[in-house]
Amino acid sequence: MLELRDLVKHYRSGEGEIVRAVDGVSASIAPGELVALYGPSGSGKTTLLMLIAALLRPDAGAVLMDGRDISELSDADAARYRLHELGFVRQSLNLVPGVSALDNAALKLLGVDIGAREAHRRVMPLLERLGLRARAKHRAEQLSMGERQRVMIARALSTEPKLLLADEPTGSLDSARSREVLGLLTEVCRERGVSVMLVTHDPQAAGYADRVHALLDGKLVDYQPDLAFVSAAGAQ
């Protein structure tokens, strides 16, 4: 479904040096597959996600989604691609304060041409599935961190995307909550046949992934559990 072909993305640092954030990455994800991507801080993980989300254009290579190169899309088409085919879950929990979990989860659906009532109708089963039925009417600040992250997952999945990109989704959670969120995330995605690319430096996540890759200095390398522990330690 998703294929990365020799992706390259370089930056120029403040001192004028070339930083190879993504350096010839090739990989693929099959429908319904969950791939974890490990890497220490600064290894290029988020850049890779941005390239897949068509938020950055690669210097070389291609990002093929069902055979279509999304790096060639116009800004408007890229936005449509993110709206309908992609879900994005981030570490930072930008729920709108003062607003209910239901409304927060329905935010993405408002971008699709449907009304608020329909958006609520569509997102409610997701919230239920994520264990938030009783909390749907609670305001963002009344939710725990784990619940907030589940709202973000519901929001990402609300438009029924093919691919979910999760950037350190458990970064601000304790290990019990991390397990809970990761468990729900994988279950819900498998049920719906959604592919997931999970960027993490949490070694626990390996247990949830079908395949695990490692990213080091912008290059994809074989995953070694030791590397995961090193990167986890490094991140702390």
Partner 1 sequence: MRLSNIVRLYRVRLRSRIVQELFAVVGIAVGVALLFSSQVAGTSLDGAVRKLTSGIVGQMRFQIAARDAHGFDAGLLSRVERIPGVLTAVPVLEANANVVGPQGSRSVDLVGTEPRLAYLGGSLVRKLGTSQLGRARAFMLPAPIAQQVGASSLQPVKLQIGARTVSSLLVPELLAPGSGVLGESPIAIASLRYTQRLTGMKGRLTSIYVRSQPRRDREVLAQLRRLAAGRLNVVPADFSDVLFHKAAEPTNQSTSLFSAISALVGFLFAFNALLLTVPQRRNLIEDLRLDGYTRKMIVEVLLFDALILGVLACLVGLALGELMSVELFRADPGYLSFAFPIGSERIVTWQSYAIALGGGLLAACVGVLVPLRRDLFSGLGHLVETPEPRIRDRTGLLLAGGTVCLATTIFVLTVAPRAAIVGIVSLAAGLLLFLPVLLDLAISAFARLQQVSTGASAYLAVIELRSATNRTRSIAIAATGAIAVFGSVAIQGARVDLQRGLDASAHGIDSLAAIWVTPAGASNSFTTTPFRNLETSAIARQSGVRAVRVYRGSFLDWGERRLWVLAPPRSAEHPIAPSQIVSGDVASATAELRGHGWIVLSQALAVEHHLHVGQPFVLPTPQPTVFRLAALSTNLGWPPGAIVLNAGDYARAWANEDPSAYQIELNAGASASAVSSEIRQSLGPRSGLRVTTSTQRQQLHYAQAAQGLSRLTQIRTLVLIAVVLAMSAAMGAAIWQRRIRLADMKIDGFGRGVLWRALLLESVVLLGAGCSIGALFGICGQLLLSRALVVIGGFPVVRAVDVSVAISSFVLVTAVAVAIVAVPGYVAARVRPAIGLQDR
Among 8, 60, 64, 107, binds partner 1 (CB under 8 A): 107
Asked if residue 70 binds partner 1 (CB under 8 A), the reply is: no
Asked if residue 67 binds partner 1 (CB under 8 A), the reply is: no
Backbone Cα Rg of the chain: 18
Closest distance of CB 172 from partner 1, Å = 9
Question: Residues 166, 185: contact at Cβ < 8 Å?
Answer: yes
What is the C-alpha to C-alpha distance for residues 71 and 57, in angstroms, rounded to an integer?
6
Comparing CA positions, the residue from 67, 69, 40, 37 lying closest to residue 52 is 69
Edge to edge, the sheet with strand 18-29 lists 18-29, 2-12, 60-65, 68-69
Among 13, 134, 176, 222, binds partner 1 (CB under 8 A): 13
Among 52, 108, 126, 208, binds partner 1 (CB under 8 A): 108
Closest distance of CB 80 from partner 1, Å = 7
* Segment (H or E) for 27: strand 18-29
Question: Residues 21, 12: contact at Cβ < 8 Å?
Answer: no
The type of residue at 80 is R
Asked if residue 75 binds partner 1 (CB under 8 A), the reply is: yes
Report the residue number, 86 or 130, with the smaller CB distance to partner 1: 86
Closest distance of CB 235 from partner 1, Å = 11
Asked if residue 170 binds partner 1 (CB under 8 A), the reply is: no
Asked if residue 124 binds partner 1 (CB under 8 A), the reply is: no
The DSSP result for 72-112, as a single string, is G--HHHHHHHHHHHEEEE-SS--PPTTSBHHHHHHTGGGGT
Asked if residue 55 binds partner 1 (CB under 8 A), the reply is: yes
Question: Residues 215, 38: contact at Cβ < 8 Å?
Answer: yes
Count of residues in contact with partner 1, rule CB under 8 A: 49
Closest distance of CB 194 from partner 1, Å = 15
Asked if residue 19 binds partner 1 (CB under 8 A), the reply is: yes
Among 27, 65, 81, 213, binds partner 1 (CB under 8 A): 81
Among 36, 71, 73, 82, binds partner 1 (CB under 8 A): 82
Q: Which positions ≥6 away from 6 have C-beta within 8 Å?
A: 24, 25, 26, 60, 61, 62
Among 3, 8, 60, 90, binds partner 1 (CB under 8 A): 90
Which segments of the chain does DSSP mark as H helices, in order? 45-52, 75-85, 101-106, 116-129, 145-157, 175-192, 225-235
Binding residues (CB under 8 A) for partner 1: these are 11, 13-14, 19, 21, 41-47, 50, 53, 55-56, 75-76, 79-84, 86, 88, 90, 94, 96-100, 103-104, 107-108, 110-111, 113-116, 119, 144-145, 155-156, 159
